[in-house]
Every structure is written in C-alpha cells, then in structure tokens.
Structure 1
Amino acid sequence: MSQTVLLVFTNHSELGTTGKKTGYYLPEAAHPYHVFKNAGYSIDFASPKGGKSPLDQSSVEAFKDDKASTEFLNDKEVQDKVNNTLRLSDVDPSKYSVVLFVGGHGPMFDLSDDQSSHDVVRKIYEANDTNIVAAVCHGPVGIANVKLSNGSYLVSGKKVTAFSNAEEDAVELSSQMPFMLETKLKENGALYEKAAENWGAHVVGDQRVFTGQNPASASPLAEAIVSQLKK
C-alpha cells in the first residue's frame, strides 16, 4: 500500500503585535515535500480553517537560492494545494501513515489548542504501531498539547526537539510569542533536547514521534521518517 503523508499548515499571518506578517516557513514545507515526493509518497495539505496558508515572505528571500524551495514555489500543483488546504475537521485520519506539522511562527498562534488538529494527531498515532507523528521548528506546537486516549500527553516521556528558547531569543521574538515552545514541551513531560549551537540541524525520533529543531532540520527529519517507514 502506498504511504500517504499529511502536511499541516497554519492559517495565521500576524506576528504578535509587531505589525509584521508571518505564516509558514518555506523550507520547512518545501524540504519535507521534496523528500516525500521523491520517495513516492502521496502528500495532502491541511490547516485548521482550510483554504490558503500564508507564507512568511522573509523565508522566500532567505531561501531564494535553495532549489527545493524555488521548485515548491513554482510548482502549480503544490501552490494550488497551499492555497486550498483541507480543513482539519474534514480530514479522514485513517488515510495517513504520517502527519507532519510545518513550522514558521504562524503555528504558535493557531495550532497549540486546535481540537480538530489534536483529534487527527491522536487518531493517526493510535491507529497502529507504525504510524508517525512529526513536526519541525515551531511545528511541534501542534503536538505539544495533544492528549492520547489514556489522558496522557503525547510528548510525555518522549525525546523531542523544537525551535529552542535560545533561538527564539536570538531572533528577538520571545516577547511576541504566546508562550515559549521549548518550555511548553518540557511542562508537558517531553524530554527536550537540542543541537549544541543555535541553527544546527537536530532530529529526534522516539516512539514514533519525529521532530526537527529548525529550518536546517527539515530535510533530515523527512529522511529519517522515510527510513523508519521502510523498516
């Protein structure tokens, strides 16, 4: 049976009270998409409200010379999916073997407590002992508060990573976040770890939960998931 991956995007475009725009971060969608597509997987896009997911334009400039990112932006089929994401409440979790939350600052504002999102994650994770829940950078906000059917947090007792407090401080956006992601994961029982230096690639897989710390971690995260699925 062919594997199908669900990429979850944000609908949020306002960066706190800065007056600046945000959304999803380009390579954190483009790089996993590239890896999954090349592995022969089907890929669907979803978001809390459905419809268009806003793109953080700063990531377009930062990755203008990145091949996978430019291909993602220039692929008509892909852009049609980004502009017409499925509504999470309409998603059939039984179709998917992987759900991956795309990063960017947008998810911090609309994915932490979205119950439709939580339901999809829980059902995919609990469906069998091979399905994978994954997230990159700020994407782990989509799994941080998910509770399993037994009432425990999905991340409790599992090694995970995510955009670190130190990295948030470095980009001077800590004051604009509704909470600090690293701190929230730890509060909910996650065994948080990170790269030795800011911006270093770091991927963790533990008990079918796969996470990547930052943009540099997006490709290796997807590659780790593909390797796990092939076992």
Structure 2
Amino acid sequence: MISTAPSKPFFEPIRPVLMVLTSHGIKGATGEATGFYLGELTHPLAEFEAAGIPFELASIQGGEPPVDGLDLDDAVNARYWRDDAFREALRHTLRLGEVDPARYSAIFFAGGHGAMWDFPTNDDVSRVTREIYESGGVVGAVCHGPAALVNVTLGNGAYLVAGKNLSAFTDDEERAVKLDEVVPFMLASTLVLRGAYHHPAPDWTAKVVVDGRLVTGQNPQSAAGVGAAMRDLLLHPPA
C-alpha cells in the first residue's frame, strides 16, 4: 500500500533573523546627519541570503530609517541598493515594538552612530533581545550595534553581557573619528562597566568574537564576519 500522507521534513526550516536598524538620524547637538551604516546591514545580509536564511527588517520607529555610509563603490552595498525588493523592504521596516519575538531565530543590530542614541534607551530592544536569547536564539551586533546590549537584562536580573566576551567600536576608534565628545557615552567602556570582557583589535581591523550564542564585531570591517558567524550558529546550533 502506498501512503499519500506528506512526509516529514528532515529538518525544521530556520526562522527569520530579525535585523534591527536605528531610527535616529542626527549626531547629538552637531546637527550632522547619521543613521544606520549601510554596509553593516548589507554584508551580514549577504551571508544570510547566500545560506538561504530568511530575514526581516525592523527599526525602532518603523518605516524608512535614516541611512549613513552610503558607499556605492562597495559592490555589496551597490547590489542591494539597486535592488528594488531590498529598497522596498527598507522603506517599510517593522516597528520593533510590534514584532513577535517567537517568530525569529536570531536578532541582529546593525551599527551606525544613530544607534548610540535610540538603541540603549528603548524598552523594546531590551524585551525582544531578552526573549529571543532566552528562548535559545542567537544575538548579534556590529560596530555601534552593541549599544543595543548595554541595558539588556535577563530574567534573573543580570546584564546579558556580564561575563561575556565581545567586541564593539572601540574608544580609540571613537576618538579617531572625533566623536568621543558627541556620543552620549563611550560604547566599549560602558560594556566593560556592565561586566563584559571587551576584546579590541587595532583601529579599523576586522574583529569578531563569538561567546556561545552572542556574536559581536568591532567595526564596519567586521560586518561580514559577524554575519558568517551567526550563519554558522544557525545552521549548526551548539549542542
């Protein structure tokens, strides 16, 4: 007898990665424009898409977020920026407060200086990150993206980053771009105050640190590496 019942898949499909962007478009009191850094979205996204891992875009306020680092000499940036489907998704990002964390296998925070203003103070950042992490998901961030992790606490009240090895935009790099007196706090130093072990590389050198299900990178040069490390964790979850 031949059964017509559908066979079970050999594996469960990977749920989407929620890629979160800043909605803050001004560098403090300078009046200078900022936003999310394009390459810190496109380079991880290229790693996910090449592996067949789905994604959704969100931002703090929803809708179209401000963009910085619009370098179209970067082939990956150019490919996405000229892609109508990508641009349409970017114009209609989900509002972070309206997403269901249970739908996602991971959360990723792109950098860009705007992240320093709205990521750390947003309750939805803390809530969604905590729920994804505590349900066994992966948390990733690059450059100023780890600003999202500064105030995330777990169910036991401890900071998510406490006792964790990580990387983020360094204090030296912040001074090098002459924004150390513009940003509301120094990111790497603040993460250390939260109990993290920060691992810096020389300025503008790629550095990716994986600690369990936490993946972080230092700067734009680290963006593809963060995406690749997250991809590997999603395709081959640790036992």
Provide the TM-score with structure 2 as the length reference: 0.92
| Residue 68 of structure 1 pairs with residue 87 of structure 2 | no
Q: 2:59 matched to 1:47?
A: yes
Q: Tell me the amino acid that sits aligned with residue 114 of structure 2.
A: G
Report deviation, 1:49: 1.2
Q: Is 1:94 matched with 2:102?
A: yes
Quote the offset at 1:86 in angstroms.
0.5
* Residue 186 of structure 1: how far off its partner (Å): 0.5
Cα deviation, 1:22-77, whole Å, max 9, x if unaligned, reads 00011000101111111101110111111111001xx11xx322111011211111
**Alpha-carbon shift at residue 2 of structure 1 (Å):** 2.4
Residue deviations 1:68-94, cap 9 Å, x none? 101121111111121111111110111
**Could you tell me how far apart the structure 1 residues matched to 2:118 and 2:83 are?**
27
Give me the whole-angstrom Cα distance separating, in 2, the residues matched to 1:41 and 1:227.
11
C-alpha displacement of 1:20: 0.9
Partner of 1:208: 213
Aligned-partner Cα distance in 2 for 1:90–1:66 = 33
Residue in 2 that maps onto 1:80: 88
Match of 1:222 among 220, 227, 236: 227
Whole-angstrom distance in 1 between the partners of 2:185 and 2:174:
11
Aligned to 1:106: 114
Which protein shows a greater Rg? 2
- Equivalent-residue separation in structure 2 for 1:91 and 1:206 (angstroms): 26
SS at match of 1:6: strand
Unaligned runs of 5+ in 1: none
Paired residue type of 2:102: S
CA distance in 2, matches of 1:207, 1:153: 15
* Partner residue in 2 for 1:151: 157
Deviation at 1:9, TM superposition (A): 0.3
Unaligned regions of 5+ residues in structure 2, if any? 1-11
AA partner of residue 103 (structure 1): G
Aligned to 2:7: none
Q: Which residue of 2 aligns with 1:2?
A: 13
Aligned match for 2:46, one of 22, 27, 34: 34
Alpha-carbon distance between aligned partners in 2 of 1:109 and 1:127, rounded to the nearest angstrom: 27
2:187 to 145, 158, 181: 181
TM-score with structure 1 setting the length: 0.95
Query: SS in structure 1 opposite 2:56?
Result: strand
Task: List structure 1 segments (4+ residues) > 4 angstroms apart after TM superposition.
Answer: none
Q: Does 1:118 align with 2:126?
A: yes
**Out of 116, 133, 142, which is 1:136 matched to?**
142
Q: Which has the higher helix share?
A: 1
User: What's the % identity of the aligned pairs?
Assistant: 42
Partners of 1:2 and 1:42 within 8 A in 2: no
Query: Secondary structure, in 3 states, of the residue corresponding to 2:55?
Result: strand
Q: After TM superposition, give the deviation of residue 95 of structure 1 in Å.
A: 0.9
Distance 2:28 2:78 in 1: 28
